[in-house]
Amino acid sequence: MSIFVDETTTVVVQGLSPTSQGLYHGKRNRDYGTRVVAGTNPGRGGEVIDGIPVFATVAEAVEATGASASFVSVPPAYAAAAILEAAEAGISFIVCITEGIPAHDEARTYNRLVQDHPGTRLLGPNCPGIISPGKCNIGITSGDIALAGGPVGIVSRSGTLTYQALHELSQQGVGQTTCVGIGGDPVPGTNFIDCLAAFQEDPDTLAVMMIGEIGGSEEERAAEFISEHVTKPVVCYVAGVTAPPGRRMGHAGAIISGSQGTAQVKMEALSAAGAVVAQNPTEAGVRMVEIVKELG
């Protein structure tokens, strides 16, 4: 199985035009096998762009195609409104790759979703997206580095390390059920615990790889959840071991404040929770391969 998306997921790309990133990545997702059924653009409703019918609104796209997921690829100033438009149209899973959305917009949008649209899950913003190998790919992750067949689920705050985790396992012939890039912004729509809980419930996911990074306390909260609720093997890597206090790593959420949010604190918490903690991404892959072999 997979989590959140599969071969039945139908996708509308918000922000579709002949020269947009939405079209570029939407076509790559479609070529992978994802059921991209529509696009939206207020000024291009009624057009067909590279075989994708375009609607003025998400509501129109959902009514015409039954789309269940949305791929938001619009500029930062419009991203919050695009997310809420998708939720109000009945979309149940939203992937937003947009970078640079103001933190207060993220917080307001997240709270609106929780209060008014509890049935809608947001992935991102500022994330690479999600791929269930061989079934569905929404976002910017290359399908070439993923391997279908399980049994490992991957969740990562870092976009680049999402790709490396996929590559490290695929090179060793270890497939993935689903790989989720949650992004590293201060207010993620989906967090480590959400993914760990879903992987725990998925019968085809036998082990989980978790990639964290400095800043915030998401990894510490995940460690507590692992200790109390996860019975499957978890291999972790936390990026930023050598980062000095006050240094940010790529994401607005990845900043160390005093002794809080350091890689060492996170690694200690995860190790105490029973997770296998690697010192670098390659070692994480090696340790996971060893675990998979032991699982048979």
* Domain co-membership, 155 together with 196: yes
pLDDT at 55 over 50: yes
* Domain co-membership, 94 together with 213: no
pLDDT digits (tens, 9 = 90+) for 3-24: 999 999 999 999 999 999 999 9
Q: Which domain holds residue 54?
A: 10-123
- 130 lies in a domain? no
Q: What angle do CA 217, 221, 223 make, to 5 degrees?
A: 115
In this prediction, residue 249 has a pLDDT band, given cuts at 50, 70 and 90, of: low
If you average pLDDT over residues 68-79, what whole number do you get? 97
Single pTM value for the model:
0.94
pLDDT of residue 150: 86
* Kind and range of the H or E run holding 32: helix 21-32
- 1 lies in a domain? no
* Domain co-membership, 286 together with 180: yes
Spatial contact of 235 and 288, defined as CB atoms under 8 Å apart = yes
* Domain co-membership, 20 together with 102: yes
- 4 lies in a domain? no
pLDDT at 93 over 80: yes
- Kindly list the catalytic residues: 251
